[in-house]
Amino acid sequence: MSTDDGRELFLFRLIPPRADFAQTMTDIEEHTMGLHTTYWQDLLAAGRVVVYGPVADPEGVWGLGVLRVADRAEALALAEADPSITAGVNTFEVLEILGGTTG
């Protein structure tokens, strides 16, 4: 289902390589996650992201992003271009939000 501007909403879930990733990142992983944060800040500034950030799951922190894009293909392209994905640090899931409403 589309938002008022014709774009669709998708949930991006960033899946870390281990449950304690947030506490045990190596220097290289920490650098990569800095690039990841900059990437998502840029997407937010461009209006392609509604919200993003780490989720304090008791099973292990993971990343959440809500994308506002034309279609699933665009959501997947943005996910695949995330520096933490291209570096092979994290994996991801992209799921459509059905009937989502934004402010």
22-60 pLDDT, tens digit per residue, is: 999 999 999 999 999 999 999 999 999 999 999 999 999
DSSP state of 70: S
Provide the residue ranges of all domains of the chain, joining segments of one domain with +: 8-96
Compute the distance between CA of residue 94 and CA of residue 103 in angstroms, rounded to an integer.
22
Among 79, 55, 59, 66, CA closest to 18: 59
Phi, psi of 31 (to 5 degrees): -60, -45
CATH, range 8-96: 3.30.70.1060
pLDDT interval class at 84 (50, 70, 90): very high
Taking the whole predicted model, whether its pTM rises above 0.85 is answered as: yes
